[in-house]
Amino acid sequence: MTKHQMDNDEMDHMQMDEHSQMAMNDHSQMGHHDMTMGDMDMGNGHMMHMGNLKRKFWVSLVLTIPILLLSPIMGKQLPFQLTFPGSDWVIAVIGTILFFYGGAPFFSGAYGELASKKPAMMTLITMGIGVAYIYSIYSLIANDIFHVTPTVTNFFWELATLIDIMLLGHWVEMNAVMNAGSAVDALGKLLPQTAHVVGDDGKTTDVNLADLKTGQTVEVRAGEQIPADATILNGSSAVNESLVTGEAAAVKKTKDDQVIGGSVNGDGTFTAKVTGTGDSGYLAQVMTLIQNAQDAKSASENLADRVAGYLFYAALIVGIVAFVVWLGLTNLTTALPVAVAVFVIACPHALGLAVPLVVARSTSLAAQNGLLLRNRDVLEQVGHLKYALMDKTGTLTQGHFTVNHVQSLTDQASDHDILQLMANLESGSSHPLATGILTAAKDADLTVKAAKDAKQTTGVGQFGTIDGTTYGLVAVNYLDKHNLDYDHDQFKSLAAEGNSISFLVTDDQVLGLVAEGDQVKPTAGKLIKALKRHGITPVMLTGDNRETADKVAHAVGIDDVQARLLPEDKEKLVQEYQQRGKVLFIGDGVNDAPSLARADIGMAIGSGTDVAIEAADVILVASKPADVIQFLALARATNRKMTENLWWGAGYNLIAIPLAAGILAPIGFILNPMVGAIVMSLSTVIVAINALTLHLEKID
């Protein structure tokens, strides 16, 4: 069967070509990432650099010390505290400086939230510290100017500690986010700083990586990192791609093999032609995928945002009602701290942090294990999957074909002549079936000459002109469609052995056939068992013949097989299965792109074509079925952590808000603003730690 007719159709081997040179030399292309990980969004685009936040925290902490020594704590004067004439004014001055300096990030964040009409965490924090500051200034005027009795307690102590705790919480959050994204930083450091460029005279010159251009020849020496994506011209070596693909074993690379920039060369030396640099490089694409996944809003995050909005309005209503009730029952001095406690405890900081941290951690783990998430929403759909539709070649089988049988079906040509014609037709193709034919021709010492006007017809076969005659290398359905005669028993016999059969035709005559065999991947059976264990029904969709498809399906444990499909047939089947439940589609090649895009989760496995990669939601860098299991395991672990964090982020509010409002006041318990700040910040730390405990065990 010909390349476009089978399930691995048009495997032009994507390479995802070209590696990232971002971060090389002056690291100019890492600028965006530095901003992402080094700055913190203080609300609707208001960014604060981590160094500024750290400095604000320490300065605010120093300013807090004299306030702790001079100001009553929760309205009580402790033995170690100092008082002297004018001490209240000293506290007010220091408290004012602290309020405007330490509170600045929250003010700008609240402004952004209110400007976008989406009040949330920053607005609540600003409200809390604003009320505390204004009330404290009021107490100073009432006590020291008007000398009211009884004296009004100030909240400078609460104000100072509240600002410190909030700044500390943001600092912890930023550190957590940066740690979660450390895998992205690691990718940016994989490339060397220089490359050995081979000139026309054969001499090598070291050039900065930023100056390396596509098409140049580079020399890669033993033990060096490969500077860019390239195709080997001369030499061979074992290349360690573990940092890039997650595959621990060294991969043997020889002439015409592709190497990925950032991987480590073994003990051999080779020259290679650069195929990708700069933004087009493989790691650059990986970085972009990860950053896009981290930046995009997922369904869970949108849910978290909605919950945070509900909590804001709930806190506002409860706070105002509690303030009015307590004011009516007691006085302003009692009512105000109750309202402040409600506003502080309801800050949705932990809720807003719940999902992003988990996703950042999950995306990093995925990259480390050769799983690239282009659309992280699919993580949340894994639990609803019902079917896994997949190709045969390259997904369940190795995709390395060997010619098992060549036969002439005409008296005018020998078997040798038939193989020669087939090789000439396939000379410009890198498809696995074409590679098998070309390898057989090489072993037979045939001289391959490229056919003229060679073209691939999707879903039909390969056509071209040789010595003035037009030939085609096609699958059996082409013969059936054009009513061309062939030996059906022979076809069934060869196909039953697991061979893919292709026929050489010209005009209305069948000249010969070739039977090529492939091997099932060792872990394919494990994949099918894992899918069934998770309640997902595996389905094979292939363009190959029914006999070969059934043999492979039986070997791996698939019961539902759809064979002899054209590309459009696959997409239609995806739609049909979607009417019964969520569908995962696993494939590669141009012919798979429509199905990858149509499925609820599209997964491009191995080195598929660029078109397939663009259509996929998830990319498996290595062609290992076990990576599909890794993805399912990661998705489930991620969803579990998301759920835990969302419950914690919202759950503590459900308990704390009524306590802050004074629901237990009849038994003598009222939640203090300071305690509220501690509880809120503690929840943030817990959410961050829980996210960072997400891990994924490597599956062989």
Q: Of 304-318, 373-387, 470-484, 567-581, where does mean pLDDT reach its minimum?
A: 304-318
Tokens of 463: 């056509």
Angle, in degrees to the nearest 10, between helices 488-496 and 546-556:
20
Q: Are 438 and 471 in contact (CB under 8 A)?
A: no
Distance CA 185, CA 364 (A): 10
Distance CA 604, CA 285 (A): 15
Q: Are 1 and 476 in contact (CB under 8 A)?
A: yes
Band the pLDDT of 66: cuts 50, 70, 90.
very high
What pLDDT was estimated at residue 187? 52
What pLDDT was estimated at residue 453? 85
Listed in sequence order, the residues at least 6 apart from 313 whose beta carbon sits closer than 8 Å to its beta carbon are none
CA 650, 654, 656, 662 torsion: positive or negative?
A: positive
CB neighbours of residue 594 within 10 Å: 19
Band the pLDDT of 458: cuts 50, 70, 90.
low
Report DSSP letters for 271-326, one per residue: EEEEEE-GGGBHHHHHHHHHHHHHHSPPHHHHHHHHHHHHHHHHHHHHHHHHHHHH
pLDDT in tens, 392-421: 877 788 777 889 999 999 998 999 999 999
Band the pLDDT of 437: cuts 50, 70, 90.
very high
What pLDDT was estimated at residue 371? 84
Phi/psi of residue 273, nearest 5 degrees: -95, 125
Number of helical H runs and strand E runs in the chain? 23, 23
Whether the pLDDT of residue 377 is over 80: the answer is: no
CA 165 to chain centre: 32
pLDDT in tens, 611-626: 455 667 888 877 677 7
Whether the pLDDT of residue 523 is over 90: the answer is: no
Tokens of 628: 């599909």
Distance CA 355, CA 551 (A): 44
What's the CA angle centered on 210, arms 205 and 211, to 5 degrees? 45
Averaged pLDDT for residues 371-377: 77
Averaged pLDDT for residues 355-363: 77
Averaged pLDDT for residues 554-573: 87
Whether the pLDDT of residue 645 is over 70: the answer is: yes
Tokens of 459: 């879903």
pLDDT in tens, 648-668: 877 777 888 888 888 898 888
What pLDDT was estimated at residue 282? 62
Band the pLDDT of 643: cuts 50, 70, 90.
confident
More confidently predicted of 450 and 559: 559
Averaged pLDDT for residues 359-380: 79
Whether the pLDDT of residue 444 is over 60: the answer is: yes
Q: Are 564 and 550 in contact (CB under 8 A)?
A: no
Q: Look up tokens 């069948």; give the residue.
A: 510
pLDDT in tens, 16-54: 333 333 333 333 333 333 333 345 555 544 445 555 888
What pLDDT was estimated at residue 180? 43
What pLDDT was estimated at residue 190? 60
Tokens of 619: 């990319």
DSSP 8-state symbol, 193: S
Distance CA 622, CA 625 (A): 9
Averaged pLDDT for residues 114-128: 78
CA dihedral 158, 690, 304, 290 (to 10 degrees): 120
What percent of the chain has pLDDT above 90? Answer: 26
pLDDT in tens, 243-276: 555 444 567 888 888 888 878 888 889 999 998 8
What pLDDT was estimated at residue 158? 78
Whether the pLDDT of residue 14 is over 60: the answer is: no
What pLDDT was estimated at residue 434? 84
Which residue in 240, 279, 235, 242 sits closest to 257, CA to CA?
A: 235
DSSP 8-state symbol, 128: H
Averaged pLDDT for residues 192-220: 89
What's the CA angle centered on 608, arms 602 and 611, to 5 degrees? 70
Tokens of 117: 């009409």
Distance CA 573, CA 4 (A): 18
Tokens of 336: 């105000």
622 three-state secondary structure = coil
What pLDDT was estimated at residue 247? 47
What's the CA angle centered on 458, arms 453 and 463, to 5 degrees? 30
Residue 214 gets the label, from left (phi > 0), alpha (psi -120 to 50) or beta, of: beta
Band the pLDDT of 422: cuts 50, 70, 90.
very high
Whether the pLDDT of residue 559 is over 60: the answer is: yes
CB neighbours of residue 490 within 10 Å: 15
Residue 251 is inside which H or E element, if any?
strand 251-253
Q: Of 68-72, 281-285, 665-669, where does mean pLDDT reach its minimum?
A: 281-285
Report DSSP letters for 129-145, one per residue: HHHHHHHHHHHHHHHHT
CA 590, 592, 595, 598 torsion: positive or negative?
A: negative
Q: Are 221 and 248 in contact (CB under 8 A)?
A: no
What pLDDT was estimated at residue 283? 63
Which residue in 180, 177, 190 sits closest to 23, CA to CA?
A: 190
258-259, strands of its sheet edge to edge? 204-208, 194-198, 217-220, 270-276, 229-235, 258-259
Whether the pLDDT of residue 82 is over 90: the answer is: no
Whether the pLDDT of residue 227 is over 90: the answer is: no
Averaged pLDDT for residues 443-451: 89
Listed in sequence order, the residues at least 6 apart from 195 whose beta carbon sits closer than 8 Å to its beta carbon are 206, 207, 209, 212, 218, 227, 228
More confidently predicted of 206 and 379: 206
What pLDDT was estimated at residue 298? 53
Band the pLDDT of 209: cuts 50, 70, 90.
confident
Catalytic positions are: 391
More confidently predicted of 385 and 42: 385
What pLDDT was estimated at residue 582? 93
pTM for this predicted structure: 0.57
Averaged pLDDT for residues 453-464: 78
Phi/psi of residue 583, nearest 5 degrees: -125, 130
Whether the pLDDT of residue 297 is over 50: the answer is: no
Distance CA 7, CA 396 (A): 10
Listed in sequence order, the residues at least 6 apart from 583 whose beta carbon sits closer than 8 Å to its beta carbon are 385, 386, 387, 388, 389, 574, 577, 599, 600, 601
Band the pLDDT of 465: cuts 50, 70, 90.
very high
What pLDDT was estimated at residue 392? 84
Q: Of 28-37, 347-356, 361-370, 386-395, where does mean pLDDT reach its minimum?
A: 28-37
Checking DSSP bridges between strand 229-235 and strand 251-253, what pairing results, if any? unpaired
